Amino acid sequence: MAPAHRPYRLGRLGALMERESVFSWLMLTPPVLFLLAFLGYPFFYGVYLSFYRREVASVASFVGLGNFVTLSNDPIFWQAVRNTIIFTGVATVLKASGGLAMALVMNQNFRMKAVTRAMLLLPFIVPTVLSTVAWQWILDPGMGLFNRLLVVSGLANPGPSWLGTPTMAMISIIMVNTWRGLPFFGISILAGLQTIPVDLHESATIDGAGTWGRFRYVTLPSLLPVIFIVTVFSIVITFFDFQLVYVLTGGGPANSTHLMATYAYSLSMGAGQLGLGSAVALSMVPVLGLLLVGLTLYVRKD
């Protein structure tokens, strides 16, 4: 309970400041105004744009749901929706299972653990564009590392065109995203593992549980909340991923790897159709919502 009497030496203004609501709103006003101006205003303007036909350097005209009708007849849009769901879904499953494996391996005692943890996190902290450019060179069909190693070892000659066919290109962008995001899962789950009390494992052992039993009935249930939150985070980040595809494939070959984010960008900036581009971006919100609801239902079912 807050004390009823304030020290008398505070002036009336000072006394007003002591009230929680006054103090709070004085603190909150600057950040809230900032966010309204630079986040709220662009957001509503973006929503507004998606109901208008607006081409670069021309007057906007209201088309109602016209942009969304155009999109519903656009095969590239549906391809982008499909790609975004596949990309987010597959990459998240790979990152979560790989991250769990990484955490279980790291949760043992060995020397130089801190250094190893730092090294394993590197893919996650270096600027995405820079590591993606390196991956572009690794996947280069002629002189890239993968195909050179395949040729030298005699496994394939010539190696596959990693970014040249629709299927391979999708596999490649999922692979690179997984490489970058896996440590985030690994290190977060490791932190979760370290909070599981040892005596839980001990009592399970006394009850006759083996390694698998302990993992299935002690470790995994204790980790579920951590895995759930990290997965939600990762889904949101992966879903909005732009730079990876922009740099690695540019949406190609033949628009086959466009994500909704890169397609929105290419409609707005490439084709100059700002209204249509905004409509694609706005459509991302319900798709992401569906993915997150799906995840929650799946977890509930367990």
In the bound state with other proteins, the residue whose beta carbon lies nearer, of 16 and 254, is: 16
CB of 203 to other proteins, least distance (A): 23
Rounded-to-integer distance, Cα 80 and Cα 187, Å:
31
Residue count of the chain, please give it.
302
CB of 75 to other proteins, least distance (A): 20
E strand map for the chain: 52-53, 61-62
The conformation of residue 165, written as its DSSP 8-state character, comes to S
In the bound state with other proteins, the residue whose beta carbon lies nearer, of 86 and 126, is: 126
In the bound state with other proteins, the residue whose beta carbon lies nearer, of 46 and 164, is: 46
List the one residue out of 21, 50, 122, 115 whose CA is nearest residue 273.
Answer: 50
Half-sphere exposure of 117 (CA within 13 A, CB side): 19
In the bound state with other proteins, the residue whose beta carbon lies nearer, of 68 and 246, is: 246
In the bound state with other proteins, the residue whose beta carbon lies nearer, of 86 and 130, is: 130
CB of 102 to other proteins, least distance (A): 6
CB of 45 to other proteins, least distance (A): 4
Amino acid at 257: T
Rounded-to-integer distance, Cα 234 and Cα 8, Å:
52
Q: Are the CB atoms for 239 and 291 separated by under 8 Å?
A: yes
CB of 234 to other proteins, least distance (A): 11
- Extract the tokens encoding 224: 């579920």
CB of 168 to other proteins, least distance (A): 18
CB of 236 to other proteins, least distance (A): 6
In the bound state with other proteins, the residue whose beta carbon lies nearer, of 13 and 297, is: 13
Amino acid at 261: A
Helix (H) / strand (E) element for 254: namely none
Q: Is the peptide bond before 286 cis (omega within 30 degrees of 0)?
A: no
Q: Which residues contact 200 (CB under 8 A, 6 or more apart)?
A: 218, 222
Rounded-to-integer distance, Cα 205 and Cα 208, Å:
5
Q: Are the CB atoms for 54 and 46 separated by under 8 Å?
A: no
In the bound state with other proteins, the residue whose beta carbon lies nearer, of 218 and 277, is: 277
In the bound state with other proteins, the residue whose beta carbon lies nearer, of 168 and 247, is: 247
How many Cβ atoms are within 10 Å of 285's Cβ, its own excluded?
10
CB of 160 to other proteins, least distance (A): 17
Rounded-to-integer distance, Cα 184 and Cα 135, Å:
19
